[in-house]
Amino acid sequence: MKPHLLFCLILFLCVAGAGLLRADASKPAYLDPNYTGPAAPGEVLPAMELPASQAFTHPGILHSQADLDFVRKQLAAGEEPWTSALAALRADEYTRLDYQPRITPVINPHDKSVGNLMKDATAAYDHALLWSLTGERAHADKAIQILDAAGSKLLSIDLGRRDQGKVTAGFTGGKYASAAELIAHYRQPDGSTAGWSSDSAEKFRQMLATVFQPRLKGFKPEFNGNWDASMMASMMAIAVFCDNHEMFNEALSYFLNGQGNGAITHYIYPHGQNQESARDQVHGQMGLAALAACSETARQQGLDLYSVANNRLAAGYEYMARYLAGHPVEVVGDAPISEKGRKEFRPGYELIYQHYVIEKGLDLPYVREAVLKRRPEGMDLIILPCWGTLAAYRGPAIPQAPSPAPTIP
């Protein structure tokens, strides 16, 4: 499916299934896919915060300087799977050098302006990542062009019907901030930068603070959890780029003990089923990926969200990967797990594989299967942690298959 058609489908599903109908009283409320209150009963988790005295690490959203430098070395040596993953990034439509930003001053979450916003945010991140890994100046210039267009033109995101503007900000703010973080802070091996002017970077920061932050604030606790999760991920990313401790800690607190469906123990049950499992698996993966982005951003800043609630995020991903691979899963209560989207793997698994399997040594056989069968991981207009094979995986190189022997006439 073409990206713009995919976006329209997902956006329609978000609106149509946002959780506006009340639960059937004949079964536990949190098991109804249309429930609009707290999901599963979640335990209280220990509070966590980034002290105001601790400076933010930059770059420090999805990638550190060291992470990307490692990937550069693998690419220079022609190692796999990074080499093939870089080729996939180069071939993506959003890294074309003739891409032109399509931003409009006011985003209406119910017309094509929201699709253009998602495309611009994705293109900015993709070009920024490609510049970081290759040093090709044209991609830095293109990312800067897209960021400057948003920084100078974007004035507001309308709230829209049913508060759709909130999730619009959640789906796009993190990619914009991640692109800006790389362009502003990544250093090439020779010490050079992307060349983004301080005035333009500051204008972009002000845009994030005045356009995105008001929509993200307060989250949306009465809707399904992918809303909360995406808003948390974008808020944390924006907070890092803007060096805003209060904003960062607001998202951190909600991740741990928020009242809405997106809080980690509300969204994912102890055995891995998620609050949207009975709805469809596309939205479930959107929620999981946003929680993974939160966890990685926190890790970059020295905080561990991955391990909270006994590695709850790992349980959620293993359950999802198992079900999407066609295996039976344990179901809480009498609400059946939805077949919708069961074969549609979305990005995010490489980040989970890297942290829990490669770094922590956990046994997640279905996550491993999902990763190894679907490399290289690609792009999604909504999900923040994309291109994971290229940018998140830091495990052993994969031996290249030998070239076939020449045919002897």
- DSSP code per residue over 286-306: HHHHHHHHHHHHHHHTT---T
Q: Give the CATH number, domain containing residue 364.
A: 1.50.10.100
**Is the predicted pLDDT of residue 240 greater than 50, yes or no?**
yes
**What are 141-159's pLDDT values in tens digits?**
999 999 999 999 999 999 9
Q: For the ranges 26-40, 74-88, 116-130, which has the lowest average pLDDT?
A: 26-40
Q: According to the model, what pLDDT value does residue 94 have? A: 98
Extract the tokens encoding 86. Answer: 């870089």
Distance CA 208, CA 203 (A): 9
Q: Does residue 406 lie in a domain region?
A: no
Spacing of C-alpha 316 from chain mean position:
15
DSSP state of 357: I
Q: Which residues contact 223 (CB under 8 A, 6 or more apart)?
A: 18, 19, 36, 163, 167, 260, 261
State yes or no: pLDDT of 188 exceeds 90. yes
Q: Distance between CA 154 and CA 362 in Å, rounded?
A: 44
The b/e string for 325-351 (b: 16+ C-beta within 10 A; e otherwise) is eeeebebbeebebbeebeeebbbbbbb
How confident is residue 348, by pLDDT bands cut at 50, 70 and 90?
A: very high
Alpha carbon distance 252, 233 (integer Å): 9
Note whether residue 101 is domain-resident.
yes
409 in a domain, yes or no?
A: no
Distance, C-alpha 186 to centroid of its chain? 20
Overall average pLDDT of the 324-345 stretch: 92
Read off the pLDDT band of 140 (50, 70, 90).
Answer: very high
- Confidence bin at 22 (pLDDT 50/70/90): very low
**Residue 75 scores a pLDDT above 80:** yes
Q: Specify the range with the lowest mean pLDDT, choosing from 64-68, 250-254, 398-402.
A: 398-402
What single string gives the DSSP state of each residue in 217-278?
TT--TTS-HHHHHHHHHHHHHHHHHHT-HHHHHHHHHHHHH-SSTTSHHHHB-TTS-BTTTT
78 belongs to a structural domain: yes
Q: Is residue 274 part of a domain?
A: yes
Which residue do the tokens 């070239």 mark?
Answer: 403
CA atoms within 13 A on the CB side of 78: 2
% pLDDT > 90, the chain: 85
**The two structure tokens encoding residue 209:** 């603070």
Can you give the residue range of the structural domain that contains 144? Answer: 63-391
The rounded distance, in Å, linking the Cα atoms of 355 and 353 is 6
| Higher per-residue confidence, 409 vs 252 | 252
Return the exposure string of 157-189: e unless at least 16 CB atoms fall within 10 Å of the residue's CB, then b: bbebebbbbbbbbbbbbbbbbbbbbbbbbbebe
Would residue 165 count as lying in a domain?
A: yes
pLDDT at residue 60 in the model: 98
Residue 57 lies in a domain: no
As a residue count, the chain comes to: 409
Average pLDDT, the chain: 91
Whether residue 180 lies inside any domain: the answer is yes
39: confidence class by pLDDT, cuts 50, 70, 90: low
Q: What is the DSSP string of 201-224?
A: HHHHHHHIIIIIHHHHTT--TTS-
Say if residue 40's pLDDT is above 90. Answer: no
The sign one gets for the Cα dihedral 218, 224, 229, 230 is negative
Number of structural domains, the chain? 1
